[in-house]
Amino acid sequence: MVRVFTGGPVFVGDGSILENVQVHVEEGRISKIVDAGHSKPRNAEVVPLDGCFLLPGLIDCHVHLCMDAGPDPLGTLSSEAAALTAIKAAKFAEKTLMSGVTAVRDMGGRGGVDLVVRDAIRSGRIPGPRIMASAQLICMTGGHGWQVGRQADGPAEVMRAVREQILAGADLVKLMATGGVMTPGVEPGSEQFSQEELRAGILEAHKAGKKTATHAQGTQGIKNALLAGIDSIEHGIYLDDECLELMLKRSVPLIPTMSALFHIERKGLEAGIPEFAVDKTLRVKPFFLESMRMAREAGVSVAMGTDAGTPFNSHGRNLEELLFMVESGFSEEEALLSATGVAAGVLGLQEDMGTIAPGRQADLLLVEGNPLQDIGLLLNQENIRMIIQKGRVVKG
């Protein structure tokens, strides 16, 4: 059967908008885009776009489906049974999809749960977004995320840790270049893996055709990762001009994950978030906002990522990140591009998703109203009238 979306506007995901067109979906893919007056296939299902925008399915480049967004999700994850983690992760995946997010990068799981959930979604056993999973994050001994990470020291051990994740079935590799907010006893601005350790892990991943990403908040750690050949910078709290120059020169995108800090700040100690996490959040936030301004003005590629699963940063509320971006100075168009064409490039799937074009997988959203004028429309799931994944209606 052919499904035809007709009218407009259509947000393509590459900076352009189409009006008065037909978008044809057939066998899970966009088969063609033609003028609205073009004849339609016999027996086609016609979906008028009256009063609605057609968008590509949105992409979240940084989630943790194994983390439950409670006050201390790392503590919970490190202590609960793996079977319970799997049940929760499956539910979180479904909530994510029903928010309009049709693809994610999972940036650190536990016990292979993220890989199992990914495969269950791919096989059609459970609903959820397409997942690119990193398996265990790789950190130095006692480094950020050690509670659930694969601890490694020295280039040889980092190489071994990377090989283990690839053997387990990871789609990408995540390395921890600096400290962070959610681990007690580490400083967000501190270096952790050395440039030599990062280079060894990155080369090993690239040998296997896998992209790499790094948790990198402090300035020197960001530079170490960039000089070592990293493919994306997550968080980027303490950027400087040299960091930005390297990112531009090497075409390395930034995934800010504003939601993580904003929710910790808003909920605070009263909600049960550990004191060390609240204190570090309040300390780093001004530097984080300044780094986002610098990155935007410098023209660094910015992709949406939420860090969903961190305290009160709920799965299924992923699109709050777009509102935080707009409130921090990004335009609505920049925010939407960060979750479509730009994000698809971060996943390495730009030829398959992120834009509405012939040959792309038919992941589509039908949104009532104009999100280019009010990005907050996307936060009300009633405004998302239809969600299409691989050409199949999952909502609407």
Measured CA to CA in angstroms, residue 246 lies from 86, 96, 216, 243, 256 at distances of 39, 33, 14, 5, 17
- CB-CB neighbours of 370 under 10 Å: 15
State the pLDDT at residue 36: 87
pLDDT digits (tens, 9 = 90+) for 61-105: 999 999 999 999 999 999 999 999 999 999 999 999 999 999 999
Q: How far apart are CA 392 and CA 36, in angstroms?
A: 22
pLDDT for the residue 130: 98
* C-alpha 272, offset from chain centre: 26
Helix H or strand E segment including 150: strand 150-151
The stretch 249-270 carries a mean pLDDT of: 97
pLDDT at position 149: 97
Tokens of 262: 């904003």
Taking residues 105-114, report their average pLDDT: 97
196: Cβ contacts below 8 Å, ≥ 6 apart: 155
Q: How many helices (H) and strands (E) does the chain have?
A: 12, 19
Pairing of strands 130-133, 10-11: unpaired
Q: Is 91 exposed, middle or buried (0-12, 13-18, 19+ CB in 10 A)?
A: middle
Please provide the average confidence, as pLDDT, over all residues in the chain: 97
pLDDT reading at 382 higher than 90: yes
Q: Is 195 exposed, middle or buried (0-12, 13-18, 19+ CB in 10 A)?
A: middle
Measure the CA–CA gap between 279 and 396, rounded to whole angstroms: 43
- Whether residue 8 is predicted with pLDDT greater than 90 in this model: the reply is no
The 10s digit of each residue's pLDDT in 15-57 is 999 999 999 999 999 999 999 888 888 899 999 998 899 999 9
The pLDDT > 90 percentage for the chain reads 96
Question: What is the pLDDT at residue 102?
Answer: 98
Domains defined for the chain, CATH in brackets: 2-56+355-395 (2.30.40.10), 58-347 (3.20.20.140)
Beta-bridge partner residues of 21: 7, 35
Q: Which residues contact 380 (CB under 8 A, 6 or more apart)?
A: none
Angstrom distance (rounded) from CA 7 to CA 34? 11
Q: Which residues contact 283 (CB under 8 A, 6 or more apart)?
A: none
Q: What is the mean pLDDT of residues 149-171?
A: 98
